[in-house]
Amino acid sequence: MALDLRSWKRDWTLMSVFFNGEEIASITERLKNLDVGTLAFCSYENRFARSGGLAAVTTRILPYLKEANRIPRVVLVTPFHSEIISESSLKNTGVSFPVSVNSRTVVVEVHEYTWDYRQPSKGSLKEYYLKAGGFFNARNTLGDPYTHDPDDPVRNAALQNENALFFCKAVPLALSALGIRKDIVFHLQEWQTSLVALTAKEAMLSGTLHSCGTVQTMHNSYDSPVTRAELSRLVDGPRKQKILGLPDNGLSAYRIALQLVDGPITTVSEQFAKELTSDIIQAEHYAPHLQRIMSASGVLGVNNGMFVDLDPTYTRGEHSTIDEVKAIKLKNRKALLRILSSYRPRERFGDLTYGGRTISRLPDTIPIVVMSGRLDPIQKGFFVFLRALETFATDEIKAVVTPLPVNPDDLDYFYEVACKCKGNLTVFPVRMRKGFRELQTGATFGIMPSIYEPFGAAVEYMASGTVNIARATGGLVDQIDSSCGFLFREDAVFYTPEHMHDYVDTSHIIQVRKTNPWAQSMADSLSQALRRASGMYQNNPAEYHRMILNGFRKVKQFTWEESARTYYQIYTMIKSS
């Protein structure tokens, strides 16, 4: 993708708040002479501690960043989440360093994982995990590194802040302890790492690092308030007193970091980049405080690459014939029906039957639809799908959902619909030990009714030979068109701040959303899209299978090589004045 960077201008609005003229001149001079010798990809998630799509990005893009751009050294810097990661998975480097926090010293150990990769060519790189007693100790059934206390959101948010800010302070010190002190680009992911934009500059002025710049990628617009006391702990010396003199309201991780970062701000799809300043849910709910910053400097969309390979059963891929695709899809469907008939973990609930009997005899003409992912009551739209499913008669459709809940109460509505739609719905509220691949490849349609979606997983369904039905938002718009899937959107008259705020505020009791006109309109629109798609599948199967072929062609547009080359353009902008 070609980015027009000519209009970009660095937003250093807050530099003079933290640094004096001489310090700003010193930082500017170092950045003018910066080469990309080391790329330090900073992520709160990693291969061992996952929540959303960020962990998947960290386990895909790094080799491409290194090989496509010939960067001498690419490393991941990430927390050692001690209650989630097994120490046996990593090697202790023997490197440690002190971090002062709250009038005490915490010793941080550096552990490493060597990634021997084979794509885009054979090579290896290091992942560095920072282990600190008293920090990075989130503990929950999902292994989510952000969830310290699922029963107390206020306390959980405070613990997230404390851990994220400690990580931001530790990152430059870790690079120095590893002997990496010059020509560093810190590629920051999400708000949890964003304040490295401040600590990296502090590190240059203190002599901890010689030269380093920062760029920021927003995978979401989630942000976190930061008090001046919390912020002051990131720095030492006179700057601490300067920060304590700031007004203690309106401060947040992004509001500070985005006005200190050294390169263009990016997000993970072209459409979501536009929506960050134009969509109601972003501009008026999640990020109203960032609108001036993002509008002034701009946000660039860099599409993710593919997270899965093309399903190997389609040996000829996009060059297959319609008949070949039909035969393979039918074989995959039968494999899925076998799984649904036999795989019954204790967490599963809801029956799938046909004619009141076994699902294994389901006729080929009845669609099987699947929805997977984190059970995020605000973002992912599970409620929208369940509400739409209630409009279908017995044996008109079969649905499989695999939500991953943090709180068991979030499943209440799933139980309700499973009872109402007995025979049509089954729920796997657990990481499936088997059968997930069969779900992806054997389902007729993959459902993505996202309330918003920075990138999304539509291309994963396409690569698996499954047609998408998705709400027209964010990265889903970039991935799906009428040749390879179905997009729907609710009536615009119902998409108002009032209805949107009510939807977000009822995430703890989602059944209440039945009275929300926006939620009703989304569910009605999805129901109509499902019926259109089912009608095509049943009455025009050649067109359905042609959509699968078009999907194979579409996914070729999303490559990590292209993403890596585009990000390199971003890195080179750090040298611009």
Q: Which amino acid is at 325?
A: V
pLDDT band (50, 70, 90) for residue 577: low
Whether residue 396 has pLDDT greater than 50: yes
The more confident residue out of 236 and 6 is: 236
Lowest mean per-residue pLDDT among 44-48, 280-284, 322-326? 280-284
Whether residue 575 has pLDDT greater than 80: yes
Q: What's the average model confidence in pLDDT over 132-140?
A: 94
- Residue recorded with tokens 């490295």: 196
Q: Where in the chain is the domain with CATH 3.40.50.2000?
A: 15-305+561-575, 317-558
**For residue 273, how far is the Cα from the chain centroid?**
14
* pLDDT tens, residue by residue, 317-365: 999 999 999 999 999 999 999 999 999 999 999 999 999 999 999 999 9
DSSP H or E run through 524: helix 517-539
Query: Which residues does residue 114 pair with via DSSP β-bridges, in sequence order?
Result: 126
Pull the structure tokens for residue 50.
């996952």
Query: What gap in Å lies between CA 270 and CA 284, rounded to an integer?
Result: 20
Q: How many residues does the chain have?
A: 577
The more confident residue out of 397 and 575 is: 397
Given CATH 3.30.1490.190, say whether it is the number of domain 15-305+561-575.
no
Pull the structure tokens for residue 227.
């008090």
Architecture of domain 317-558: 3-Layer(aba) Sandwich (3.40)
Q: Dihedrals φ, ψ of 483, to 5°?
A: -80, -20
Q: Can you say whether the dihedral through the CA atoms of 87, 430, 457, 521 is positive or negative?
A: negative
Q: What's the average model confidence in pLDDT over 219-241?
A: 91
* pLDDT tens, residue by residue, 437-483: 999 999 999 999 999 999 999 999 999 999 999 999 999 999 999 99
* pLDDT tens, residue by residue, 526-558: 999 999 999 999 999 999 999 999 999 999 999
Three-state SS for 111?
strand
| Proportion of the chain above pLDDT 90, given as a percent | 86
- Residue recorded with tokens 């900073």: 42
| Proportion of the chain above pLDDT 70, given as a percent | 99
Q: What's the average model confidence in pLDDT over 372-391?
A: 94
Q: How far is CA 104 from CA 1, 3, 97, 239, 511, in A?
A: 48, 46, 14, 18, 48
pLDDT band (50, 70, 90) for residue 1: very low
Pull the structure tokens for residue 560.
């990590």
The pLDDT value given to residue 237: 80
| pTM across the whole model | 0.95
Query: What gap in Å lies between CA 152 and CA 30, rounded to an integer?
Result: 44
Pairing verdict, β 485-488 and 91-101: unpaired
Average pLDDT, rounded, for the chain = 94
- Backbone conformation region of residue 23, classed left if phi is above 0, alpha if psi is from -120 to 50, else beta: alpha
Three-state SS for 124?
strand
How many other C-beta atoms can be found within 10 angstroms of the C-beta atom of residue 548?
24
Q: What's the average model confidence in pLDDT over 24-46?
A: 97
Lowest mean per-residue pLDDT among 55-69, 325-339, 498-512? 498-512
Query: What gap in Å lies between CA 228 and CA 295, rounded to an integer?
Result: 26
